[in-house]
Chains A and B, each alone.
Chain A
Amino acid sequence: MRSGSRLAAAAILLARKKDEHVSTQLAIENLTHRFGNNEVLTDVNLNVKRGEFLTFLGPSGCGKTTTLRAIAGFLAPTEGRILLDGQDITGLAPHRRPVNMVFQQSTLFPHLDVGQNIAFGLQIKKLSKAEIAESVEEVLHLVKLEGFERRRSTELSGGQRQRVNLARAIVNRPEVLLLDEPLSALDLKIRLDMEVELRRLHRELGATFVYVTHDQREALALSDRIAVFNDGRIEQLDTAERLYREPNSQFAASFVGDANVFAIDVVSADGDAVITSDGLRLPVKSTGEVSGPHWLVVRPEDVRFDVGQQSVEATIMDAAFRGASITYRADCAALDSSVKAEIPDNLTASTIGAQVGVSWDAQRARLLPRGDS
């Protein structure tokens, strides 16, 4: 295994030189992993494009971190392969892979100062002292922590610490940078600032980022593409926009952004609407002939009260002031569900208990097939 993996590592470096223009950099093929009897990843297939910011999104335990660790090499998958620039790295030990990871918790070594921490990987590669010093300075500048070389990690704030963790990974110029929920331990305000930093770093480095998070807002803000994981499989892989506008499944719809998801039985389609078995006429973007059980998905920000002809009766149960908008919850007997509406403050001010007619723009509503689940 050892000599083979050394060859593989060398091959990757060669391949990198040859195939710089080929766009798929990291390929995950048929990745399946089992812990004992528990299958946590089932047949995951994924191609990561060179230089893109790809996020694995999903709830806890859905397999996203497992996949990330498999890419890093901390996990030997039960089945499947991982290829970097066409070379199979599945058998390579982590310290031989040209891939670096930023961990969820800060893993700075307490016995080294900031500069020494960052230099760690470079020292192992036996670079000269001058080169190391230069790289460290460069990367500290990149993360806006100039002059922090001699500081110790206990002297840093949470945000600064994570930036050093980032710097430590980046300085090794990895092919792919893996990030395992690096912002989840930080306060909200710092998290938002760090998101801006991450986007900037990604732009300036031009490197490939693979990011894991359960925070869909973060995913939408940062990513070029998002892979939504559900129970060990990828539900949908798409750009952030398409994922938000055109979710392929009820899970993706409700997980990415807020959504109203109504279970309906369609009898027939009628232009920009469908007729349900209860006799309701609901606005939906026309998709031709449909019938049978479906999910109707409409985002709260697209829901309006007492506007237009087609509407469904509902009673307001709750109104929460959100600054720029008010979030309403209205119980709708006809749809057998509560409707969530996000209405800009200046448009309406309905009170609790009021009866309103709920409606939405057909173009913003989506119909998804509903199987037996």
Chain B
Amino acid sequence: MLAMMAFFFVPVAVVVLYSFLTGDLFTVSRPVTMANYNDVFTIPVHRTLAWNSLIIGTIVATLTAAIGLPVAYWLHFSAGRWATPVLSLIVASMFAGYLVRIYAWRTVLGTNGVVNSSLERLGLIDEPLGFLIFSRTSVTIAELHLMLPFAVVMLFAAIRPIRSDHLEAAEDMGAGPLARWRRVILPLMAAPLATTWTFVFIISSSDFVTPQFLGGVRGQLIGTQVNRYFRESGDYGRGAALAIVMILFYVMLWFAIQGALKLARLNRIEWD
């Protein structure tokens, strides 16, 4: 049985293995070199894309957390018997599939899409709104749509230990709605929020499919470039180096956030 388990270390080993490959020029010859890493940091397009990814990732992660938490709250505290149906519904939206959802936004936000044509027919605008499609905005909206169900599920799972008694006790001691959020719910949800935020940030900032269909020129992300290196130019070396740098960044980000939580002593809540 334990031997069977070893089989699953293959993917982990793969990741480790290929990190040895980053220095190599793959398809051609194999001198181990740091040139790829050098390129990662010097090629200007990398910087633009990295910046884009950072911005969009942050916005999407923050929005999903900001929307996901109230939804999780509602599901846990206010929904009653509606909790299961609504939660199932939210999860069901993921069944539509990745591409379908991207496609949906393409049709909605496009120049002849639903939003623009409706606004035109209502006479509110004369020309289609340019910023709606093939822009950072469209990528952000689509990513939000993709990630929101995950965020809700993750936050809902994390909010369950909080009982209505806790909120009632807080209310009983004089805490109004705002105080209850600030003093009870947010501190208790700080760690799950951080985890969710990081998760959404990582997934959305490394996406390359959404930018491909909705990003246009200005909405491309760092993942697009990795994809190009691997699939189009066959430059495995550079692509690998870029990917490794990405991963390292994510790892550092994770530790930074966990560290911040630890400082605030909110990293681990022990429930009695």
Contacts and interface: CB of A to CB of B under 8 A. Distances in A.
Interface of A: 72-74, 93-96, 99-101, 103-112, 120-121, 124-125, 152-154, 156, 161, 168-169, 172
Interface string B125-153: 00000000000000000000000000000
Interface string B98-136: 000000000000000000000000000000000000000
Given A106-B272, A111-B188, A100 B168 contact: no
A121 B173 contact: yes
What class of interface size applies to chain B in its complex with A? 20 to 34
Interface in B162-184: 163, 165-166, 168-176, 179, 183-184
Contact of B175 (A73, A104, A112, A124): A124
Given A100-B173, A101-B172, 20 more contacts: A74-B171, A94-B168, A95-B172, A95-B174, A95-B175, A95-B176, A101-B169, A103-B168, A106-B272, A109-B166, A109-B184, A109-B187, A110-B270, A110-B271, A111-B187, A112-B187, A120-B170, A120-B175, A125-B174, A168-B169
Nearest to A100: B172
A161 B265 CA distance: 21
B183 to A, nearest CB: 7
14 contacts: A72-B168, A74-B168, A93-B171, A96-B174, A101-B168, A103-B165, A104-B165, A106-B272, A109-B188, A110-B270, A111-B265, A111-B269, A154-B271, A172-B173
Name the residue among B172, B183, B265 with the largest chain A CB count within 10 angstroms. Answer: B172
Contacts of B171: 73-74, 93-95
A145 to B, nearest CB: 16
Contact of B270 (A95, A125, A154, A161): A154
Contacts of A101: 168-169, 172
B272 to A, nearest CB: 5
B266 interface: yes
Nearest to B190: A111
Contact of B166 (A73, A93, A107): A107
A154 B271 CA distance: 7
Contacts of B179: 95, 124
Name the residue among A101, A106, A109 with the largest chain B CB count within 10 angstroms. Answer: A109
Contacts of B168: 72, 74, 94, 101, 103, 107
A124 B272 contact: no
Contacts of B165: 103-105, 107
Contacts of B174: 95-96, 121, 124-125, 172
Interface of B: 163, 165-166, 168-176, 179, 183-184, 187-188, 265-266, 269-272
Nearest to A74: B168
A161 B272 CA distance: 10
B174 to A, nearest CB: 4
B173 A169 contact: yes
Contacts of B183: 120, 124
B195 to A, nearest CB: 16
A153 B166 contact: no
Contacts of A105: 163, 165
Contacts of A110: 188, 269-272
Contacts of A103: 165, 168-169
A156 B270 CA distance: 12
A126 to B, nearest CB: 10
B173 A120 contact: yes
A120 to B, nearest CB: 5
B222 to A, nearest CB: 36
A135 to B, nearest CB: 13
Contacts of A152: 270
A95 B173 contact: yes
Closest 10 pairs (CB-CB, A-B)? A121-B173, A107-B169, A124-B174, A107-B165, A154-B270, A94-B171, A111-B187, A95-B171, A110-B269, A101-B172
Contacts of B188: 109-111
A204 to B, nearest CB: 21
B176 A154 contact: no
A96 B171 CA distance: 9
Contact of A107 (B163, B176, B269): B163
Name the residue among A93, A99, A124, A125 with the largest chain B CB count within 10 angstroms. Answer: A124
Contacts of B172: 72-73, 94-95, 99-101, 169
B159 to A, nearest CB: 13
A267 B9 CA distance: 90
A101 B266 CA distance: 27
Contacts of A100: 172-173
A168 B163 contact: no
A72 B166 CA distance: 14
A100 B171 CA distance: 9
A99 B266 CA distance: 30
Contacts of A111: 187-188, 265-266, 269
A112 B169 CA distance: 14
Nearest to B170: A120
Contacts of B269: 110-111
A109 B188 CA distance: 8
Nearest to B168: A74
A153 B188 CA distance: 14
A153 B173 contact: no
Nearest to A103: B165
Given A103-B165, A103-B168, A111-B187, A153 B272 contact: yes
